[in-house]
Chains A and B, each alone.
Chain A
Amino acid sequence: MSASVGARKLSLLLHISSSVGWFGAVVAFLALAVVGVTSQNEQLARSAYLVMEPVAWYVIVPLNVSSLVTGLLTSMVTSWGLRRHYWVLAKLLINLVATVVLLLYMRTLGYLADLARDDSAAPRDPSPVLHTGAATVLLVLAMVLAVYKPRGLTGYGQRAALRRTGRTRENTVDG
């Protein structure tokens, strides 16, 4: 897909903004999860579990979906493509896994919020720490891939590169 420089930069801007925002929100969520498990202040720990659900629904899920959609868009409007480079595929895989686990995990967060709302004691469940810690690691890996862009063309990418080279040679000979 050919796109103007402006469109490419806009899609990249949206992708970086949503991805970095997503990462920041996950790190903030990790702090909440740790407070929920470790705080000696019962009211503060309960509040952490109550806040986790709306933060996830209104901040993390939208940023996650936005990162996925803008990432797909960016891959389509730039020369990197979606299937040509292993690092792009790896980032897509990370994003898809994180999205599926997050959406499935929302039910657990709702359940923990209900417990915190109904009980006088905080749930003290370490599961949000585990999940958010894993998400943080995955997002750091995605950032490393995006910045370093390790070499490696997929089979599809190699064939596309060969076709491009062939066309360039034909044009050179014809010209």
Chain B
Amino acid sequence: MASSGRNEGRAGMPRWVKVSAIAVSIFAILLAILLIFGGGQHGPSRHFGGLSGAANGVSVR
């Protein structure tokens, strides 16, 4: 990582960035759909609090 000595002229966003952005967007949408319609058993809310055995799919004695 010593030098960025590449001949990169003025150009738009490269294709790999566009493809990655589309892939990440699709993944985010699918994840959101899963969270909304998948029963809400997994998601960021699970990590904030209110952890229960049922919410984790774990049997608590």
Contacts and interface: CB of A to CB of B under 8 A. Distances in A.
Interface residues of A, number: 34
Contacts of A57: none
Nearest to B5: A79
Interface of A: 5, 8, 12, 74, 78-81, 84-86, 90, 104-105, 107-108, 111-112, 115, 119, 121, 123-125, 127, 130, 150-153, 157-158, 161-162
A12 B1 contact: yes
B47 A125 contact: no
Query: Which 10 pairs show the lowest CB-CB distances between chains A and B?
Result: A152-B14, A104-B47, A86-B17, A79-B4, A111-B51, A153-B8, A123-B58, A78-B1, A150-B16, A80-B4
Interface residues of B, number: 28
A84 B58 CA distance: 46
Interface of B: 1-6, 8, 10-11, 13-14, 16-17, 20, 42, 44, 46-49, 51, 53, 56-61
